[in-house]
Amino acid sequence: MLLEVNDLNVYYGAIHALQGISFHLDEGEIVTLIGANGAGKSTTLNTISGILRPRSGQVLFKGNDITFTPAEEIVRLGVCQAPEGRKIFATLTVMENLEMGAYTQNDKQEIQKNLERVFRSFPRLKERQNQLGGTLSGGEQQMLAIGRALMSRPQLLLLDEPSMGLSPILVEEIFNIIQEINAQGTSILLVEQNAQMALSVAHRGYVLETGKIVLEGNSNDLLNNPMVAKAYLGAH
Which of 145-154 are b and which e, b meaning 16 or more Cβ less than 10 Å from the residue's Cβ?
A: bbbbbbbbbb
Residue 32 has pLDDT above 90, yes or no: yes
Mean pLDDT of 139-164: 93
Residues of the chain above pLDDT 70, percent = 98
Query: What's the 3-state SS for the chain?
Result: CCEEEEEEEEEECCEEEEEEEEEEECCCCEEEEECCCCCCHHHHHHHHCCCCCCCEEEEEECCEECCCCCHHHHHHHCEEEECCCCCCCCCCEHHHHHHHHCCCCCCHHHHHHHHHHHHHHCHHHHHCCCCEHHHCCHHHHHHHHHHHHHCCCCCEEEEECCCCCCCHHHHHHHHHHHHHHHHCCCEEEEECCCHHHHHHHCCEEEEEECCEEEEEEEHHHHHCCHHHHHHHCCCC
Complete domains list, the chain, with CATH: 1-78+155-236 (3.40.50.300), 87-153 (no CATH)
Average pLDDT along the chain: 93
- As a whole-number percent, the residues of the chain with pLDDT over 90 amount to 78
User: 161 with 193: CB under 8 angstroms?
Assistant: yes
- The per-residue pLDDT for 119 is 94
Average pLDDT over residues 112-122: 92
Least confident of 72-76, 86-90, 113-117: 86-90
What is the model's pTM? 0.92
pLDDT higher at 88 or 22: 22
Of 20 and 139, the one with more pLDDT = 20
pLDDT beyond 80 at 234: no
Contact indicator for 110, 179 with CB cutoff of 8 Å: no
Instruction: Give mean pLDDT, residues 195-211.
Output: 95
pLDDT digits (tens, 9 = 90+) for 119-144: 999 999 999 999 999 999 988 999 99
**pLDDT score, position 104:** 76
Above 80 in pLDDT, residue 232? yes
d(CA 167, CA 179): 19
Average pLDDT over residues 28-54: 95
Q: Residue 233 pLDDT > 80, yes or no?
A: no
